[in-house]
Structure 1
């Protein structure tokens, strides 16, 4: 069956914010076909439409090579993914991207379909979590400098690297996102965000081999709510301080979420011997349910995986106005709460309130550890909270 696109039809899509004259560009290739060039051509035409338009990928399975769908566009644009697109064999080593949506103001991606990164073969050679020198592997979905966007009702499966990366976004809402990869898949962060302002992640399910959600430098005003995370490495702010020229982080809220069987829970991590001096402030975790979560609450300013740094030098990342409130459930080890702040820059204004974390292991009850922080304690504290003196650097 031959390919076609550019089928322009009159629709009324009030629920999706369309006018009566929305223009539709439908991918017409048969299931199993490679739609890379057809999708690029359809998007380019839609991007030039003077009124809101949409590109539809119908039900079925399609091959998709490396592709960049970039504006600026003349009007808002929708991508409706109803089927599954699968990464082809060329989107592998030495590349840092598979699908990129970039430089669009007024963007919507939805439709109930899936991006399948076909990551299984690549994971065996992915050692970027162990060394600075490693083969690049593509991020499945990149959103670069997208403004006023809605991303909803899509899935990402078996990414070779990160599932979703958000950079330079403004006013973006992500909801009902489903992310799935095996728990031993390396570097498969669910959603990584940085240098963006005003992003919401709502009512989503993330089960992967690395952080469910990771927050990079320059992130401002992130709201995460109603997310189920696990397995994986939990929800992390950072790591921060590994690279030079990093920007401040502020306004991070995570609430009403469930973490289950994750290697870490709610985590803030910064590198010792940091390459920059920045501030991460106003970070709040509230109303979180834990189910067999290792290291449920963790501030780690000595984060140094695989000894890639100088642990003798204190982290220069300042942590200010941090809170953990209404955190309850079970821990997978006895280290229920660890607040390990920088000796050079002790944490400031840390609040702990209504913590009820139980551990039933043979090695004793749950513990609460502090260093270089004097937290403000409120409400219930199980385990009993510490109030460690601050040790200042000489």
Structure 2
């Protein structure tokens, strides 16, 4: 961990490797009915309360939990990283950002068992650009609003990302009962190759039994030039709370077919917004 450092540079000069040897942690991951286990696996590299920091040209392999975490920091550049872990390794997010602003993640390859990039509560002005992601769970904004927490996320720009054999692609996830907002989020120039859920908003993350509870309010969410293939029939899934929490969703050119060549479909609930230009599959709850 680097704590309260201003002007930090960490570089591998193209050959540096962090080897977390996480397989011991994964096999002893705690479960509710297990007593002899490791309760909390560590993150390989953490920047906390750092300003004007750069991580570049290094590799992270098999972290016990998250590979890189940027927490309560500002003006951070993460570039030219290679992050790898098995697709079934638990909680091995590539880069996790939490309560930070002016963070850029660029030009990196991330293959892991959880989110390639996860953008958590309290983040502002985050750019993800030029990432190859897969395997993994995609690039996720969230999860937000657990235990009724009040969250705020804004000005998130995800662009030029190629998802390959991932569980999800462009994902926003919130818990039922959460409060606050996530706004001004864009996904631009995104390619999918055999992705399970290419485009997804999930406001019932891990709890689908509470359809009428409030949720973190999502607004001004823009999808532009998304194309490729889905491993499932449903390529676009906007599943929003019934409390008016998904508005100003803008979709501009989408062309997603099934990996087997068949037609795909969109599913939506309680989402409001519009589409422009060619959009396939058609999204029935948005105005075209």
Contact 1:292 1:330 in 2 (8 A): yes
The 1:326–1:162 alpha-carbon spacing in structure 2 relative to 1, beyond 3 Å, is same
Check if 1:293 corresponds to 2:195: yes
Distance 1:289 1:316 in 2: 29
Higher CA-based Rg: 1
Deviation at 1:384, TM superposition (A): 1.8
Q: Which residue of 1 aligns with 2:27?
A: 124
Distance 1:354 1:312 in 2: 30
Deviation at 1:328, TM superposition (A): 0.4
Q: Which residue of 1 aligns with 2:165?
A: 261
Q: Which residue of 2 aligns with 1:380?
A: 278
SS in 2 for 1:122: helix
SS in 1 for 2:176: coil
Distance 2:270 2:148 in 1: 25
Contact 1:108 1:149 in 2 (8 A): yes
Q: Which moved more, 1:257-266 or 1:310-319?
A: 310-319
SS in 2 for 1:203: strand
Select the structure that is richer in strand. Answer: 2
Check if 1:153 corresponds to 2:57: yes
Check if 1:185 corresponds to 2:86: no
SS in 1 for 2:66: coil
The 1:314–1:213 alpha-carbon spacing in structure 2 relative to 1, beyond 3 Å, is same
SS in 2 for 1:113: strand
Distance 1:263 1:253 in 2: 21
The 1:245–1:270 alpha-carbon spacing in structure 2 relative to 1, beyond 3 Å, is closer
Contact 1:371 1:388 in 2 (8 A): no
Match of 1:325 among 213, 224, 231: 224
Gaps of 5+ in 2: none
Deviation at 1:346, TM superposition (A): 3.0
Distance 1:128 1:288 in 2: 36
SS in 1 for 2:25: helix
The 1:148–1:388 alpha-carbon spacing in structure 2 relative to 1, beyond 3 Å, is closer
- What are the superposed Cα offsets for residues 21-41 of structure 1, whole Å, 9 maximum, x if unpaired? xxxxxxxxxxxxxxxxxxxxx
The 1:354–1:129 alpha-carbon spacing in structure 2 relative to 1, beyond 3 Å, is farther
Distance 1:246 1:278 in 2: 5
Contact 2:147 2:177 in 1 (8 A): no
SS in 2 for 1:121: helix
Q: Which residue of 2 aligns with 1:102?
A: 3
SS in 2 for 1:352: strand
Contact 1:350 1:376 in 2 (8 A): yes
Check if 1:347 corresponds to 2:246: yes
What's the TM-score once normalised by structure 2's chain length?
Answer: 0.93
Give 1:136-215 correspondences, 5 Å limit: 136-215=40-119
The alignment yields a C-alpha RMSD, in angstroms, of 2.2
SS in 2 for 1:106: coil
SS in 2 for 1:159: coil
The 1:285–1:130 alpha-carbon spacing in structure 2 relative to 1, beyond 3 Å, is farther
The 1:360–1:108 alpha-carbon spacing in structure 2 relative to 1, beyond 3 Å, is closer
Deviation at 1:243, TM superposition (A): 4.2
- What are the superposed Cα offsets for residues 254-284 of structure 1, whole Å, 9 maximum, x if unpaired? 001100000001000001133xx11000000
Q: Which moved more, 1:236-245 or 1:203-212?
A: 236-245
Q: Which residue of 2 aligns with 1:20?
A: none
Distance 1:350 1:245 in 2: 23
Distance 1:119 1:162 in 2: 10
Distance 2:214 2:22 in 1: 34
Deviation at 1:148, TM superposition (A): 0.6
Contact 1:211 1:233 in 2 (8 A): yes
Q: How many residues align?
A: 283
What's the TM-score once normalised by structure 1's chain length?
Answer: 0.68
